[in-house]
Amino acid sequence: MRYKYILFLIILLIGCQQKREVNTTFYYWKTVYKQNADESKYLQQLHSKRLYVRIMDVDGRSEPIPVAPISFADPLPDTLGIIPVVYIVNEVFKEKTDEQVKRLASNVMRFVKGKVAQAGKKGYRELQLDCDWTASTKKQYFLFLTEVAKLNADRQLSATLRLHQLKNQASMGIPPVNKVLLMCYNMGNLRKYGKQNSILEIAELQKYAGKNLGYYPMPIDVGLPLFSWAVAFRGGQYIGIAKRLELNDLKDPALFGLDAEGLYQAKTDLPQFGLKKNDEIRYEESKPAEVREVAQYLSRYLSEKPLNLVFYHLDSTILKNYPPHELEKIGDLLR
């Protein structure tokens, strides 16, 4: 009986072991890096060792240029490594020669190294490139990745992966990188009129992910959303994201009412939000319960290899809606 009891304890302990190592951190997607006490608290409580820092966008079809590059009012803390991220507009790779692509790779690497030094860092372990490439730009984007990898020797190179790129591997190809980060947000059609949540919808995720996660031939990190926005329509047509518009504003009966479509409707012109009378607003958010549901779903299909869980994004005004213990629960679901 004693041996059976010991065997039972061993089985129980094995069952309780964590299957997957999950390192939790954030994207930093602002144009000025400045240390913030609330944001630092989250990094500390979640034991974050590195921060994914957006360095710049790259845009310009004829001549790609840096757009809104980050500046550093403060250096990154010594306890926090940097993973530089460069977002590249897909159109940049259209109608480009091989030589133009190679020159772009060299320019991007030079710019990244300069910004990493400005962050107070001697180097970095990983560089991430973010581009929603298509079948028509795949060849030149993959050439760009190959050239960057040559210039990024002894460091990891990762690329972001959209859901359609995950599902349609045959036509979209597999990027020549060390690993990918699956962006589990912006799932629906933002511009589509009516009630929906284009940020996060589990039914939409299930159409693309599932077993495709297990079939993907390289390690996968996970990006999950921590944000909300107010999507504006005029005459049923998308006109953009209403800046500075919060849920409390939408619930103010002096400013908005609910229309037959279940959208918020402006009762008067609201120039402070860029809105006119009768404009309609669809408020979308990533609620903690919904983010947990996504994490639980992904956990069933991801391999048992270690992964980075990256929340988008680190901003004290956003984080007030996501207590640290809620984010810890999400990380636990992936373990």
| Residue 199 pLDDT | 97
| Residue 19 pLDDT | 76
**Helix ranges restricted to H, 209-278:** 211-215, 247-250
Average pLDDT over every residue of 145-160: 97
Average pLDDT over every residue of 313-328: 96
Average pLDDT over every residue of 154-165: 97
Find, among 284, 287, 291, 290, the residue nearest to 310 by Cα: 291
| Residue 12 pLDDT | 40
Average pLDDT over every residue of 225-230: 97
Exposed / middle / buried, residue 266 (Cβ in 10 Å: 0-12, 13-18, 19+): buried
Q: Is the pLDDT reported for residue 41 higher than 70?
A: yes
Average pLDDT over every residue of 116-135: 98
Q: In the chain, what are the domain boundaries?
A: 21-227+288-333, 228-285
Find, among 59, 72, 66, 64, the residue nearest to 30 by Cα: 72
Q: For 93-158, what is the HEC assignment?
A: HCCCCHHHHHHHHHHHHHHHHHHHHHCCCCCCCEEEEECCCCCCCHHHHHHHHHHHHHHCCCCEEE
Pair 130, 88: CB distance under 8 Å: yes
Q: Is the pLDDT reported for residue 251 higher than 80?
A: yes
| Residue 279 pLDDT | 98
- Specify the amino acid at residue 109: M
Q: Is the pLDDT reported for residue 11 higher than 70?
A: no
Q: Is the pLDDT reported for residue 321 higher than 70?
A: yes
pLDDT band of 14, cuts 50, 70, 90: very low
Pair 269, 233: CB distance under 8 Å: no
| Residue 18 pLDDT | 52
| Residue 6 pLDDT | 45
Collapsed DSSP state (helix, strand, coil) of residue 40: helix
Average pLDDT over every residue of 173-180: 98
Q: Is the pLDDT reported for residue 8 higher than 60?
A: no
CATH class of segment(s) 21-227+288-333? alpha beta
Q: Which tens digits make up the pLDDT trace of 194-216?
A: 999 999 999 999 999 999 999 99
- Helix (H) or strand (E) holding 54, with range, is strand 50-59
Quote the pTM value.
Answer: 0.92
| Residue 61 pLDDT | 81
